[in-house]
Structures are given as structure tokens and as C-alpha cells.
Amino acid sequence: MSQATVTSKGQITIPVTVRANMKLDAGDKVEFIDMGDGQYQMIAVTREVRTLKGLFKSDRVVSIDEMNDAIEASASA
């Protein structure tokens, strides 16, 4: 088990074994997922968007205009 101490500024240093196992390097981002009951899961946000290709299956084809409209609608919400 690895531990880290929270500083007065709310910062922690991720132990070297954890960084190695998560394949984290300086400048990488991590995301905290709320698992409920005060527990969080920390995941590395290091994958390129290209790695998501094929993750979601759909027969529907979406045009660039439809994508732009959806992005605009969510930005103004």
C-alpha cells in the first residue's frame, strides 16, 4: 500500500511506484472519479483520442454539421 500526505496547499506527491504502475510522467493528467461513500478512483488521462475509435458501436452516421450543432448546443446550455 502506498501513502501520500496532503500539503497545506492541497497538493500531494504521487509515490514513485504508483506513478510507474500508472505509467504517469511529468505533465500527465489524472482524473478523480467519485465512487460514492467518500471514495474516489484516480485514473490516468493519457490516452490519445485516436485510441477511442471503435469503442462505441453504432450504425448511425453523423455529419460534421450535426457534430458542430451538438457541440454548440451543449456549450450554450
List pLDDT tens digits, range 10-62: 999 999 999 999 989 998 889 899 999 999 999 888 767 677 677 777 788 88
Q: Give the pLDDT score at 59.
A: 83
Task: Of 24, 42, 45, give the one whose Cα is nearest residue 33.
Answer: 42
What average pLDDT score do residues 60-65 get?
89
Q: Does the pLDDT of residue 7 top 70, yes or no?
A: yes
> Which of these, 47, 42, 41, 39, lies nearest to 19 by C-alpha position?
42
Q: What is the pTM of this model?
A: 0.54
